[in-house]
């Protein structure tokens, strides 16, 4: 490109909507589902194909591509001063089994579009800019989720990650090797100036408000609990009601309590019983045992704690009322993660600069940005999910919102890559 850099093209530059759309369409032909979603779980053949396509595009745009030990893919555009820490943008390209076409992909293809826009406009930056695709964000095939960014940010060690098994007993390490994405670059924290992640909201707020962009100030904290009740199986016919120790009745009380607690504790608290295993699970037998999960989330850590304390009492009372034994184990607790104030302001200014309407909001879902936030200043840009729907093929974002969000990402990156 022969265009030269001027202050005005730096101010006025916008991403190329057509090019981005073509990329999306081509990328999402890989393992496309009938309902226009994608099926590219982590380290599957389809995931490999998506990675290959990405690497091809990175190289075509002139990015120096690096793959680390976790299969995280980085594309780097040099700056004027390569001793400076880079601005990093990205997300993930693995998907749920039947997931949406924008979840994760928008952050990676959006990041690539940002860099290509700068290349084509002849805009040079002081700092290098890198685009990343993190491995195993979804956590559907290998748990836990956000494994690639988790190792990168020192949350998990490499051996732990390699040993994660899918339901067929295949390990993350073996599968990474099989698809040829076990790279040489060390997967460990390094000096980063900023991290910005563009992502679909996965909730209803932006869509309801008809606003194109959410400036994300942080992510909800949460508690995950496993609960079990142990009672007595018996025949559903001859056993009178007063002689029953029915674990499913105890559980129903707790489910009801979860709903009650969310209505009375903190305005943003959400609570879910999402997984239930009842035994013997038979039409004419009183349920002897039941195991289920509880998920509480809020942006306020004390609210989560209050909910946990409250539900533990409810579990005990439900058990005593029904005459069954109970057990509660908190298997995971993550505090709310407020993002960096400077980065939040940067994203707001970028939205104002590009004349995009925005609101400041909190993310209910976890993202790679949570972990990045622990090693470098971070924020996120959200775009609306139509109907608030995600993790299904029906997930959708209007194209004009994709463009608006990517332009905001572009100008956030431009502000932060000038070397100050």
Residue 88 to residue 412: CA distance in whole angstroms: 11
Cβ proximity of 217 and 122 under 8 Å: no
Shortest spacing between CB 180 and Zn ion, in angstroms:
24
Query: Closer to Zn ion at the Cβ: 104 or 377?
Result: 104
**Count of CB atoms situated within 10 Å of the CB of 356:** 20
∠ Cα 412 415 416 (to 5°): 90
Cβ proximity of 90 and 134 under 8 Å: yes
Chain residues that interact with Zn ion, rule: CB under 5 A: 103-104
Query: Closer to Zn ion at the Cβ: 102 or 172?
Result: 102
* Phi–psi pair at 402, nearest 5 degrees: -60, -45
Shortest spacing between CB 257 and Zn ion, in angstroms:
31
Residue 193 to residue 383: CA distance in whole angstroms: 24
Query: Closer to Zn ion at the Cβ: 103 or 407?
Result: 103
Query: Closer to Zn ion at the Cβ: 20 or 227?
Result: 20
Tally the C-alpha atoms within 13 A of residue 419's C-alpha that lie toward its C-beta.
9
* Pairing mode, strands 221-230 and 289-298: antiparallel
Shortest spacing between CB 406 and Zn ion, in angstroms:
16
Shortest spacing between CB 272 and Zn ion, in angstroms:
18
Shortest spacing between CB 301 and Zn ion, in angstroms:
24
Residue 379 to residue 363: CA distance in whole angstroms: 11
Shortest spacing between CB 147 and Zn ion, in angstroms:
13
User: If we measure between CA atoms, which residue out of 304, 400, 392, 395 comes closest to residue 355?
Assistant: 400
Shortest spacing between CB 200 and Zn ion, in angstroms:
7
Query: Closer to Zn ion at the Cβ: 79 or 104?
Result: 104
Query: Closer to Zn ion at the Cβ: 101 or 127?
Result: 101
Cβ proximity of 203 and 367 under 8 Å: no
Shortest spacing between CB 379 and Zn ion, in angstroms:
16
Shortest spacing between CB 92 and Zn ion, in angstroms:
6
Query: Closer to Zn ion at the Cβ: 292 or 339?
Result: 339
**Residue with smallest beta-carbon separation from Zn ion:** 104
Give the H or E element holding residue 292.
strand 289-298
Query: Closer to Zn ion at the Cβ: 121 or 365?
Result: 365
DSSP 32: B
Query: Closer to Zn ion at the Cβ: 103 or 113?
Result: 103
Which residues are within 8 A (CB) of 222 and not within 5 positions of it... i.e. 6 or more apart? Answer: 295, 296, 297, 298, 304, 332, 333, 334, 366
Q: Which residues of 203-214 are buried (b: 16+ CB within 10 A; e: fewer)?
A: bebbbeeebbbb
């Amino acid at each position: 490109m022969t265009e030269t850099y001027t202050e005005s093209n730096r101010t006025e530059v916008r991403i190329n909507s057509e090019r981005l759309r073509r990329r999306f369409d081509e990328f999402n032909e890989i393992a496309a589902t009938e309902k226009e979603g994608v099926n590219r779980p982590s380290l599957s053949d389809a995931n490999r194909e998506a990675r290959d396509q990405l690497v091809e595009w990175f190289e075509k745009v002139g990015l120096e591509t690096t793959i680390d030990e976790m299969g995280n893919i980085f594309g780097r555009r040099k700056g004027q001063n390569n001793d400076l820490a880079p601005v990093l943008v990205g997300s993930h390209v693995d998907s749920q089994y039947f997931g949406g076409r924008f979840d994760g992909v928008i952050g990676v293809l959006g990041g690539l579009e940002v860099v290509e826009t700068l290349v084509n406009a002849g805009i040079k930056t002081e700092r290098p800019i890198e685009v990343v695709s993190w491995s195993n964000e979804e956590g559907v095939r290998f748990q836990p989720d956000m494994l690639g960014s988790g190792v990168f940010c020192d949350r998990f060690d490499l051996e732990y990650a390699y040993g994660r098994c899918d339901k067929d007993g295949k390990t993350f390490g073996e599968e990474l090797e099989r698809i040829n994405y076990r790279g040489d670059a060390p997967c460990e924290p390094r000096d980063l100036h900023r991290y910005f992640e563009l992502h679909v909201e996965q909730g209803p707020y932006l869509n309801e408000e008809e606003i194109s962009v959410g400036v994300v100030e942080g992510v909800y904290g949460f508690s995950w609990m496993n609960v079990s009740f142990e009672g007595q199986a018996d025949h559903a016919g001859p056993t009178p009601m007063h002689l029953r120790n029915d674990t499913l009745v105890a559980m129903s009380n707790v489910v009801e309590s979860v709903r009650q607690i969310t209505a009375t504790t903190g305005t943003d608290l959400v609570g879910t019983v999402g997984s239930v295993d009842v035994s013997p699970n038979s039409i004419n037998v009183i349920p002897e045992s039941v195991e289920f999960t509880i998920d509480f989330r809020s942006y306020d850590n004390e609210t989560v704690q209050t909910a946990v304390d409250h539900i533990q009492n409810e579990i005990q009372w439900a058990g005593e009322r029904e005459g069954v034994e109970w057990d509660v184990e908190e298997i995971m607790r993550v505090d709310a993660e407020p993002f960096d104030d400077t980065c939040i302001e940067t994203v707001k200014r970028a939205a104002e600069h590009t004349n995009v309407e925005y609101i400041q909001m909190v993310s209910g879902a976890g993202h790679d940005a949570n972990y990045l936030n622990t090693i470098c200043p971070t924020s996120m840009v959200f775009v609306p999910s139509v109907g608030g729907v995600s993790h299904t093929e029906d997930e959708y974002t209007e194209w004009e919102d994709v463009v608006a969000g990517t332009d905001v990402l572009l100008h956030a990156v431009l502000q932060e890559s000038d070397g100050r």
